[in-house]
């Protein structure tokens, strides 16, 4: 087993963190480096009994945590935030080794994830109530917000740090205790956050991490347990629907951030250089393994050839390699199945008449997870590669003639997470932005996520919002109080 060298080796944890304790399970599972297949950790499988212990610990800790003042909870969170930044290099190293993304991207994610902790530490002190107009002379009406209770969440492997902080920070700020089940591909990034939360002094039982490979069984426990009041999930639409159905048994509050099929529209009045740069940033970050990355490039017919030529040059210049190599711009896919799924979409598109301009070849070695940056043209909006989430470094180009056609094509999907378009016509910017059926729209911008803005989708891309001032509301209940006989 390869040893990961850290500045602080105590950050390397391989057991679930429950009620302030590190718990060994009855079995272990391997964590492998997707860049080379090396085994980098043996992690203890959480047991069903330990998940139950985590729930009980969270229930026990939640009431006292909620009774703290907002300022007290904020101080805990700010200490956690500072510790995350203090150990940014080690957290990034763990992420690159288990997830594969280039080290520079991993460091950026740690910074991005930490800002959610900072933001919600501040938002903890801005949970306001209301005094409403009296309905009668002897009545007074007040509205307060209280923590929903114990929260459970399941997070994905593609952003293994920031997807946790984006859920845990508002939950903790609101006064909720939380249980996190991270992806089994990337447990180390989750467990190091638990270690830092412990060092920050967050009380035992308030923040818990359970790790294991039996996602179905753990998910069922977290979604059906009556003591869990709120459930949050980031992942595929297919799995999200199953978890939503399970939550119905106890009528839990639910937040879902699910799959996407983001259109990236380039109009003929766009700044082409800026559009191509935005296309590269949107499509190829994390090797295309992001829910908000561009999935379809819709390009106006009159500029199609020039856009494709410019994009081809940029795509061909991207460097593929181990994330620890500073020259690498694209890391490996998370595993071979992910690579095979992406390549199958490319193959199907070719068989349907699409043309691979560059890339599109599987590595000869069956043990390799590296897929080259790929550009596919002559794509129609009905092909599977345009209707399914690619989740890999493949850009598809689809021509359109009119603004109305572009909008219709962009909206022709069951997903509605993120959309992008480039135009210098201010009237068109408003028209298209309003017409796109998506929760988030980037206008002349290829990267749009930040903690100050509400993140989430419509249609089958999810329920609720994360980040921004509204992010903490997902973890609060509204209570109306009517005072009579005044």
Q: Which sequence positions are flagged as catalytic? A: 257, 291
Largest CA distance in the chain: 81
CA distances from 461 to 301, 413, 421 (A): 29, 10, 19
As a whole number of angstroms, the distance between CA 233 and CA 231 comes to 7
Q: What is the DSSP string of 381-439?
A: TTSHHHHS---SSEEEEEEESSHHHHHHHHH-SS--SEEEEE-S-HHHHHHHHHHS--S
Residue 460: HSE in the Cβ half-sphere, 13 Å Cα cutoff: 17
CA distances from 79 to 72, 121, 158 (A): 11, 10, 26
The phi and psi torsions of 150 (rounded to 5 degrees) equal -75, 135
Do residues 46 and 25 touch, judged by C-beta distance below 8 A?
A: yes
The phi and psi torsions of 78 (rounded to 5 degrees) equal -65, -35
Do residues 457 and 416 touch, judged by C-beta distance below 8 A?
A: yes
Is 7 buried (19+), middle (13-18) or exposed (0-12) by CB count in 10 A?
A: exposed
Do residues 296 and 261 touch, judged by C-beta distance below 8 A?
A: yes
Strand-pair category, 230-234 with 151-154: parallel
As a whole number of angstroms, the distance between CA 401 and CA 422 comes to 15
Question: What's the full length of the chain, in residues?
Answer: 486
As a whole number of angstroms, the distance between CA 407 and CA 433 comes to 10
Measured at the CA of 375, the angle between CA 443 and CA 99, to 5 degrees, comes to 80
């Amino acid at each position: 087993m390869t040893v990961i060298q850290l500045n602080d080796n105590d950050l390397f944890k391989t057991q679930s963190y429950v009620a302030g304790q590190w718990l060994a399970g009855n079995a272990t599972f391997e964590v492998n480096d997707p860049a080379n297949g090396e085994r980098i950790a043996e992690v203890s499988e959480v047991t069903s009994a330990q998940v139950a212990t985590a729930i009980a610990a969270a229930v026990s800790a939640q009431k006292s945590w909620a009774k703290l003042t907002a300022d007290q909870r904020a101080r805990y969170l700010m200490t956690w935030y500072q510790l995350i930044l203090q150990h940014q290099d080690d957290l990034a190293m763990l992420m690159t080794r288990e997830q594969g993304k280039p080290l520079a991207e991993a460091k950026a994610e740690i910074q991005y994830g930490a800002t959610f902790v900072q933001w919600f530490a501040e938002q903890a002190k801005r949970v306001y109530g209301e005094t409403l107009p009296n309905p009668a002379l002897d009545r007074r009406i007040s509205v307060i917000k209280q923590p929903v209770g114990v929260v459970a969440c399941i997070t994905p492997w593609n952003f293994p740090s920031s997807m946790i902080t984006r859920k845990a920070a508002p939950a903790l700020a609101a006064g909720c205790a939380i249980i996190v089940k991270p992806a089994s591909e990337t447990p180390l990034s989750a467990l190091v956050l638990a270690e830092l939360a412990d060092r920050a002094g967050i009380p035992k039982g308030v923040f818990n991490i359970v790790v294991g490979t039996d996602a179905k069984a753990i998910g069922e426990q977290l979604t059906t347990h009556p003591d869990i009041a709120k459930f949050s999930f980031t992942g595929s639409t297919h799995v999200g629907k199953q978890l939503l159905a399970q939550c119905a048994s106890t009528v839990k509050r639910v937040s879902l951030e699910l799959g996407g099929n983001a259109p990236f529209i380039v109009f003929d009045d766009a700044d082409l250089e800026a559009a191509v740069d935005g296309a590269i940033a949107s499509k190829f970050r994390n090797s295309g393994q992001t829910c908000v990355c561009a999935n379809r490039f819709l390009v106006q017919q009159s500029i199609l050839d020039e856009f494709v030529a410019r994009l081809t040059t940029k795509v061909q210049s991207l460097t593929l390699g181990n994330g620890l190599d500073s020259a690498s711009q694209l890391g490996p896919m998370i595993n071979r199945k992910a690579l095979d799924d992406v390549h199958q979409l490319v193959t199907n598109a070719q068989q349907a008449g699409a043309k691979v301009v560059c890339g599109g070849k599987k590595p000869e070695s069956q043990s390799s997870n590296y897929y080259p940056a790929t550009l596919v043209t002559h794509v129609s909006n009905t092909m599977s590669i345009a209707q399914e989430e690619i989740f890999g470094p493949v850009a598809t180009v689809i021509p359109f003639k009119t603004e109305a056609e572009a909008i219709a094509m962009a909206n022709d999907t069951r997903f509605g997470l993120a959309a992008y378009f480039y135009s210098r016509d201010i009237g068109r910017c408003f028209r298209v932005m309003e017409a796109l059926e998506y929760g988030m729209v980037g206008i002349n911008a290829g990267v749009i996520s930040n903690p100050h803005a509400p993140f989430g989708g419509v249609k089958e891309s999810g329920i609720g919002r994360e980040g921004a001032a509204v992010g903490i509301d997902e973890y609060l209940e509204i209570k109306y109080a009517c005072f009579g006989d005044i």
